[in-house]
């Protein structure tokens, strides 16, 4: 009989152990790492996400709003919206302050939009890292 690996049989620790770190990592980029006593890594992640997001705003990048239509439009706009939302507090403060840049043609504007999306995706990676540390898969 073939033996299964330990990772296949491993179960997640109780939700109370990893959920607070994951939630804080979403709302405040790097916050989950601060909660898990990894302040150096948390500071680097916060600074990286903040720099990408602020550069995107300074380049007048557009925030995505979810739209449906054909499959490509849905994937681009809903995916872009979820990536913007993943930036956490930066996204909420920006929307609360009324930032609404129209979608205009231009290289700088387009790069700014990509920076805003990239900041959210970088925060998703930070959330995965905080989760791995919280459950004990990583130091």
Structural domain contains residue 11: no
Structural domain contains residue 56: yes
Structural domain contains residue 61: yes
Asked whether 105 and 111 are in contact (CB, 8 A), the reply is no
The Cα 28–Cα 26 span in angstroms is 6
Structural domain contains residue 106: yes
Structural domain contains residue 6: no
- Kindly report, residue by residue over 36-86, the tens digit of the pLDDT: 999 999 999 999 999 999 999 999 999 998 988 899 999 999 999 999 999
Number of helical (H) and strand (E) elements in the chain, helices listed first:
7, 0
In terms of residue numbers, what domain contains 98?
19-135
123 pLDDT exceeds 60? Answer: yes
Tokens of 53: 């997001």
Indicate the number of domains in the chain: 1
Nearest to 86 by CA among 51, 117, 50, 55: 117
């Amino acid at each position: 009989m073939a033996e299964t690996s330990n990772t296949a049989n491993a179960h997640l620790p109780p939700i109370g152990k990893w959920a607070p770190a994951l939630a804080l990592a979403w709302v405040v980029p790097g916050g989950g790492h601060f909660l898990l006593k990894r302040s150096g890594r948390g500071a680097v992640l916060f600074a990286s996400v903040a720099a990408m997001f602020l550069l995107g705003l300074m380049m007048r990048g557009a925030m995505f709003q979810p739209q449906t239509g054909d499959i490509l439009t849905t994937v681009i706009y809903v995916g872009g919206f979820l990536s913007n939302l993943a930036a956490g507090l930066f996204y909420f403060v920006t929307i609360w302050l009324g930032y609404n840049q129209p979608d205009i043609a231009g290289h700088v504007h387009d790069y700014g939009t990509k920076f805003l999306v990239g900041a959210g995706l970088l925060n998703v990676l930070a959330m995965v890292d905080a989760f791995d540390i919280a459950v004990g898969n990583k130091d």
